[in-house]
Structure 1
Amino acid sequence: MNTTQLECFVSLASTLNFAKTAEQVYLTQPAVTKEIQSLESELSAKLFIRTTRSVSLTDVGRQFLPEANSILNSYYHAKDWIASFHSKSKSSLRIGYMDSHCLPFVNRVLGSIKDKFEILLPSFIVDQTDTNLNRLVHGQADIVVGIKDSRFKDDSIDFKTLHMDGFVIAFPKKHPVIKEAKKKKLTEISQDMLWEYPQVVQIPPYLLKNVFSKGSHILPVNEKLDNILCSFASEVYGLVKAGFGFAFVPEYLAIPDKELIFYPFKETHHAPFGIYFRKESLEAKDSAVSQFLDTAERIYSTTTSSPDRT
């Protein structure tokens, strides 16, 4: 298996078009076909279903795609690292996260520590939390930002808690519960006020099989209604704005939005929000990981954890 095979595979999985893939990877179309065939032969598995009219991924191909991306990311990061090995002034920081709505906080921390290094080279890895934690264990990431996963155990990894995060409720401005809350001058919303209204439910795919498949829920869900499941805050906010229902949102993902109104959830559960890191990375007090952790703790302690209601 080589990077050319993987680049052709990843590109073709995106374009589903051999001609477009050939343009993207700077090869001829027959060369792309040859690379795909050699990869399939090496793996002893068909990755694509090819007809005269269409190209589509097989089940094996779909499952292999995240692995192929991970291998390529590791290869190119290692290549960049080796290229800059003799330049001690360069400090890299590979940051794993799951939802883009936590990036404003991450970028604020990066902006605060940038001047502490001659050259700071941050890179981002967006993926499911469990996959990013696996990268952290195997040295393919430096930190992972998110909610603590109670199932994850590894003696080489530590977790710095920044905040005990609860949930806030995102509403479209004309939602009936908002009218009632304003009329009663409420400062928080109870679940009995929500039960008759549909909900946009955010739950990461890696937790879906462990929660909903067992008939249990982290948050109250009225299954008699036409609720919608989403994976990311951006999807949730879009559907809430479009009038599909209200949504429970973790505090660290609740970014102020002029089209939404946020209220604290009275019966909320709390979970640690923070940063995973390898214990060995703190051996150098001036390392990028150490600086990020210390600055993140300071910044998070001086900011409001949930957006203002409007």
Structure 2
Amino acid sequence: MNSTQIKCFISLGKTLNFTKTAKELFLTQPTVSKNIENLEKEVGVALISRKHRHIQLTSKGQYFFEQIKAIDQELTYTLQKTRTTNMTKKATVTIAFTNIAFEQKFLPIFLKLIKQQGKWDIKLKPNMLTGMNIKKELDSGQVDFALFQSDYFYEEKYSFTPFFKSGFSAIIKKSNPLKKYIKIPISVLHKHQVFLYSPSINLRSLQILEDAINLTYDKKAKPLEVVNKVAVAKILVSTTTNSIAIVPSLIYNPDNPAFYYRFLEWNKSYSYGSAYLIPTKDKPFFADIINTMREAIKIAKSNWK
């Protein structure tokens, strides 16, 4: 049984006319007849009946026609799909993130946008703000991109694409008199117990900020205390009215009703963005990932309170 025999039979089952089938398939009528005869021999039953020059399908021929037509349609669809579909396996792009509040807003948008492109599979790999292994994972190829702040990736082997600039914010209780400030000056911090959030990694912006705050202190002031977990800083702030926690503004969570967040008035800032090894720029997915992140962040920021 070959494809010509199948095509002849399916066409004849529709036209019930050898001449029309021959024209439809660009074959001679004897060729069509020969193919039908050979098909009947292989199947072992009569598929058509010839009475008074009229062609009809036998009962078994009708059954065979319906089945073979469905198979032929499925085969045609499969062939078309195979020809038009890119069968190359999508590359998996791994992105490290720290699950801060803003990332919880923009990453779902990013995943939706990248899925619409249909070119890359995305794997998100969470990392803790403290004791991070992001650099090690970038170096070993476990992740392709790392979402974080720029001042952590100062070595020459890393490149960094900034998405926006950010600074530092103060977390205070709603009863704290500092709530009157839109931006809290560093010069007033010495009057309060200050807890500076600083993860157990080298962030240059935090080192500079710590030095700047210490310069405002006098002997009577309570010393600045460094904590390496945001949750601990919030607990400490909640214990007294006049305490204050200083954190990167990216940690700001507008959905937390327990505290006020106030920007710190300081002329220093850092960039939030994506770090990656320099050769990653040459990867085929690079532009798509970076540009789609920018688009997702733009959408998320428009809805950010």
Secondary structure at 2:191 match in 1? coil
**Residue 198 of structure 1, CA deviation:** 0.8
> Among 202, 206, 231, which residue is 1:207 paired with?
202
Asked if 1:103 corresponds to 2:103, the answer is yes
Could you tell me whether the CA contact under 8 Å between 2:151 and 2:204 is conserved in 1?
Answer: no
- 2:239 matches 1:217: no
Residue 196 (str. 1) matches residue 191 (str. 2):
yes
Q: Distance in 1 between matches of 2:166 and 2:209?
A: 20
Are the aligned partners of 1:255 and 1:306 in contact in 2 as well (CA < 8 Å)?
no
Query: Any conservation in 2 of the 1:169–1:247 contact (CA below 8 Å)?
Result: yes
2:182 alignment partner, SS class: coil
Q: Separation in 2 of the partners of 1:228 and 1:306? A: 34
* Higher gyration radius (CA): 2
User: What's 2:21 paired with?
Assistant: none
CA distance in 2, matches of 1:251, 1:296: 19
* 1:232 matches 2:229: yes
CA-to-partner distance for each residue in 1:78-122, whole Å, 9 max, x for gaps?
xxxxxxxxx844442322234644531334422332332377341
Moved more, 244-253 or 123-132: 123-132
Counterpart of 1:32 in structure 2 is: none
What is the TM-score with the length of structure 2 in the denominator? 0.57
**Kept in 1: contact 2:145–2:275 (CA 8 A):** yes
Number of aligned positions between the proteins: 211
In the alignment, structure 2 segments of 5+ residues that lack a partner are 1-86
Query: Is 1:152 the equivalent of 2:154?
Result: yes
Tell me: CA distance 1:114–1:172, structure 2 relative to 1, closer, same or farther (3 Å).
farther
1:249 matched residue in structure 2: 247
Greater mean alpha carbon deviation, residues 292-301 or residues 196-205: 292-301
- Give the Cα–Cα distance (whole angstroms) in 1 for the partners of residues 237 and 267 of structure 2: 20
Distance 2:96 2:296 in 1: 19
Give the letter for the 1:138 counterpart: S
CA contact (8 A) 1:254 1:307 kept: no
Distance 1:280 1:112 in 2: 25
The reply to whether residue 142 of structure 1 matches residue 144 of structure 2 is yes
Length-normalised TM-score, structure 1: 0.56
CA contact (8 A) 1:135 1:141 kept: yes
RMSD after superposition? 3.6
Q: Distance in 2 between matches of 1:293 and 1:126?
A: 20
Shift of 1:305: 9.4
Does structure 2 retain, via aligned residues, the 8 Å contact 1:110–1:292?
no
Task: State the alpha-carbon separation in 1 of the partners of residues 292 and 131 from structure 2.
Answer: 22
Contact 1:94 1:124 in 2 (8 A): yes
Given that residues 99 and 126 in structure 2 are in contact (C-alpha distance below 8 angstroms), is that contact kept between their aligned partners in structure 1? Answer: no
| Residues 23-38 of structure 1 aligned to structure 2 (within 5 Å) | none
Is the CA contact (8 Å cut-off) linking 1:252 and 1:305 kept in structure 2?
no
